[in-house]
Amino acid sequence: MGFFDQGKKKAVTFSYDDGVTQDIRLIELLNKYGLKCTFNLNSQLLSQKGMLIREGQRISHYKVHSEDVRTIYDGHEVAVHTLTHPNLTQCDASEIIRQVETDRLQLSQLAGYEVVGMAYPCGGVNNDDRVAEIIKKNTGVRYSRTITTTGRFDLQEDLYRFNPTAYHLDFEEMMRLGRAFVELKTESPKIFYIWGHSFEMDYGADHWVRLEEFFKLISNQDDIFYGTNKEVLL
C-alpha cells in the first residue's frame, strides 16, 4: 500500500463505470475537492450514444469519444471494464481473456500509459473465482473491483475480487461511513472505497448536491491519502 509508505494510514478512492459524458461533470467536482478516481471504460463502446429508462425517466448514456479519453481523464486513472460489457461468469475462458486483455491494450493506447486496473461489468453476480483466476493468469490486470459493498475499511487479500466499501447512491450510509472514517484513529492501513456510475447522478434533482456534500466531508483531511485505485491498492 503506497499511501502507508508515505506515512498516511487512511486512504479514500473512487471508482466509476461505463465512461459516460457525465464523467466530465464528476471530474470537475472531484478536482475541486482534490479527490482521485478510477474510471472503468468499455473501449469498443466508446463514442456511442444511448438512453436508459431509470426510475421512470430517460437518462443520457452517451459514451465519451475515444479521442477524448486522454484529456478527459487526465489526473485520474483509466481502467478495464471489458470491450462490450458482458457478464464474464457466462463466458468461456477465451472470451474472458479477449474481453479483458483487448480492452486493456486498447485503453492503454488511448490513455498513454499501461492500464492495469479493472471493474467487473454487469449487475448481480458478475464475478467468481473462476473468472478472477483466468484474469489473474492470462491478462495484465492487477486488480479488479466487484459491486459487493462491505461497509468496512479493512484491507483485503484478494485484489482480483476487491469489494468496495460503499455505493454512491446510498447517500445516508455513505455520509455515516464518511463521518466515521474522518474521525477514525488507526495504526493499521484503512481504505474507504466508493463506486458508482456518474449517469446515476441524473436520477434525482438533488443527487449532484448530495454527492458534493460527501466530497466536502471527506476531503482536505491531513491524515487521509487521496488516490486512484492503482495508487491506493498497489
Residues 40, 45, 48, 51, Cα dihedral to 10°: -70
Q: What is the DSSP letter of 197?
A: -
CA distance linking residue 157 with residue 191, whole number of Å: 13
Give, for all 234 residues of the chain, the pLDDT tens digit: 667 667 899 999 999 999 999 999 999 999 999 999 999 999 999 999 999 999 889 999 999 999 999 999 999 999 999 999 999 999 999 999 999 999 999 999 999 999 999 999 999 999 999 999 999 999 999 999 999 999 999 999 999 999 999 999 999 999 999 999 999 999 999 999 999 999 999 999 999 999 999 999 999 999 999 999 999 999
Count CB atoms within 10 A of the CB of residue 219: 16
Give how far the C-alpha of residue 137 lies from the chain's centroid of Cα atoms, to the nearest Å: 22
How far, in Å, CA of 20 to CA of 41, rounded?
Answer: 9
Q: Where are the domains of the chain?
A: 2-233
Residues 194, 200, 203, 208: is their CA dihedral positive or negative? positive
pLDDT digits (tens, 9 = 90+) for 128-151: 999 999 999 999 999 999 999 999
Helix, strand or coil for residue 143?
coil
Q: Is 182 exposed, middle or buried (0-12, 13-18, 19+ CB in 10 A)?
A: middle
Fold designation for 2-233:
TIM Barrel (3.20.20)
CB neighbours of residue 92 within 10 Å: 9
Cα separation, 57 vs 51, whole angstroms: 10
Best CA proximity match to 123, nearest among 167, 83, 184: 167
